[in-house]
Amino acid sequence: EVQPVIMSLLPLKEAVRTSIVSRSWRTLWRFHCNLCFDGPNDPDSDTDDEFAGQDSTKMKRAKFIETVNSVIQQHSGIGVNKFSIRCGLPKEDSHHLDRWISFATSLKAKIIHFDLIIIDWPLEEVHHFPLEALDAQGGSFVQSLFLAAVSIPHSGIRGLTILRRLVLESVQIFGDFPGLLAKCSALEDLEIIDCSGVTNLSIPHKLDKLRHLLIDSSTTDIEVVELHAADLAHFEYKGRVIPIVLHGCSKLEKATIMFVDTKALAHTFTAVPSILPVRILHVQAIISKYAQLQKLPTIPEGMFMNLRHMTLIVEMQMTIMKFFN
pTM: 0.86
146 and 49 both lie in a single domain: yes
Range of the domain at 8: 1-32
**Does residue 307 lie in a domain region?**
no
84 and 176 both lie in a single domain: yes
45 and 145 both lie in a single domain: yes
Contact 150, 114 (CB under 8 A): yes
**Does residue 94 lie in a domain region?**
yes
User: Among the three residues 198, 233, 267, which one is the final residue of a domain in this structure?
Assistant: 198
What is the number of domains present in the chain?
A: 2
**Does residue 186 lie in a domain region?**
yes
Contact 203, 221 (CB under 8 A): no
Contact 218, 239 (CB under 8 A): yes
137 and 150 both lie in a single domain: yes
Res 120: pLDDT: 54
Contact 253, 280 (CB under 8 A): yes
Res 122: pLDDT: 52
User: Among the three residues 198, 226, 257, which one is the final residue of a domain in this structure?
Assistant: 198
151 and 184 both lie in a single domain: yes
**Does residue 222 lie in a domain region?**
no
9 and 86 both lie in a single domain: no
**Does residue 319 lie in a domain region?**
no
DSSP string, 275-309: GTT-SEEEEEEEES-GGGGGGPPPPPTTTTTT--E
The pLDDT tens digits along the chain (325 residues) read 788 788 888 999 899 998 888 888 888 899 999 999 998 865 444 444 555 556 787 888 899 999 999 999 999 998 899 999 998 887 788 889 999 999 999 999 999 999 987 655 555 567 888 888 887 655 678 999 999 989 887 666 777 889 999 999 989 998 888 888 888 889 999 999 999 888 889 988 889 999 999 999 877 778 899 999 999 999 999 988 888 888 888 899 999 999 887 767 767 767 677 787 899 999 888 877 766 665 666 666 667 788 899 998 888 765 444 333 3
Q: How far apart are CA 149 and CA 151, in angstroms?
A: 7
43 and 159 both lie in a single domain: yes
Res 153: pLDDT: 75
Res 45: pLDDT: 43
User: Among the three residues 171, 198, 225, which one is the final residue of a domain in this structure?
Assistant: 198
**Does residue 194 lie in a domain region?**
yes
Interacting residues of 175 by C-beta distance below 8 A, sequence separation 6+: 153, 154, 155
Q: How far apart are CA 96 and CA 319, in angstroms?
A: 48
116 and 52 both lie in a single domain: yes
**Does residue 161 lie in a domain region?**
yes
1 and 134 both lie in a single domain: no
27 and 37 both lie in a single domain: no
**Does residue 108 lie in a domain region?**
yes
Q: What is the 3-state secondary structure (H, E, C) of 35-64?
A: EEEECCCCCCCCCCCHHHHHHHHHHHHHHH
Res 325: pLDDT: 35
Res 46: pLDDT: 43
18 and 164 both lie in a single domain: no
88 and 123 both lie in a single domain: yes
DSSP string, 75-125: S--SS--EEEEEEEE-GGGHHHHHHHHHHHHHTT-SEEEEEEEESS--GGG
Q: How far apart are CA 291 and CA 310, in angstroms?
A: 23
